[in-house]
Amino acid sequence: MDRFTRFRMLRALWARARALLAWLHGPQQQRLRLRAQRWQQAQVAERQLMDGIVRSTEDPDTRVRPPAAAQPSTSAQAWQAQRDAQRQWGASQRQWYETQQRYGRQQHGR
């Protein structure tokens, strides 16, 4: 076997070996990368909890604030104000539409 043939065979064998290694090694690398990302996310979350950046769902001011029955809910008041504003807007739109209808009838009636 001459050098050129041997070189070609070794190059093909090496290419097959690289492909096999990549096939075997690829999923493991992906698993390790995902595991590292999860670990980092957990570390960041723990650090933020320790620093007080992330709060729990419990309100920290409940002991200081009076009970809910004593004070009216501001969100309920906001919803009521929004509903009233929507009703007013709807009434003004209906009034404008009726005015346009009447004006149109007068123009066509002449």
Which two structure tokens, joined as six digits, stand for 77?
A: 């008041």
Q: pLDDT per residue over 62-110, tens digit each?
A: 666 666 655 567 788 888 888 899 999 999 999 999 999 888 777 766 5
Q: pLDDT per residue over 4-38, tens digit each?
A: 899 999 999 999 999 988 887 788 888 888 999 99
Interior angle at CA 29, CA 28 and CA 31, nearest 5: 65
Question: CA-to-CA distance for 29 and 12, rounded, in angstroms?
Answer: 25
Is-contact 35 43, C-beta < 8 A? no
| Domain chopping of the chain, boundaries | 1-55, 76-110
Question: CA-to-CA distance for 50 and 65, rounded, in angstroms?
Answer: 25
pTM of the predicted structure, to 2 decimals? 0.31
